[in-house]
Amino acid sequence: MKEVTLKFREVAVDGLPEHSMECVAIPYYGYLSAIELPFSKIHSSFNAHDYDSVERVLKTSVRGIVYWIPLHEFNMAFKEE
């Protein structure tokens, strides 16, 4: 068994990512489940890219994200030593 520690950021406390990146995010819809999503700083939205149109972002963005962690940090926690 491998024990890992992940430092998730809480949106209500730490805010949104400071720049566009791939993240592992946890939305709250009555249950918690981690999903991999892009974050766009330009649109301040999860499941969006900087190059997406506003119309696309309005249709596809994921709301209700309560925790997030950069994907590279998430992956590093599981890297074999």
pTM for the model:
0.89
pLDDT at 31: 72
Alpha-carbon gap, residue 78 to 11, rounded angstroms? 24
Put the strands of the sheet holding 9-10 in their side by side order. Answer: 9-10, 65-70, 21-27, 35-40, 45-46
pLDDT: which is higher, 48 or 1: 48
pLDDT at 7: 96
Residues 14-65: pLDDT tens digits?
Answer: 999 999 999 999 998 767 789 999 999 999 999 999 999 999 999 999 999 9
pLDDT at 81: 64
Residue ranges of domains in the chain: 9-77
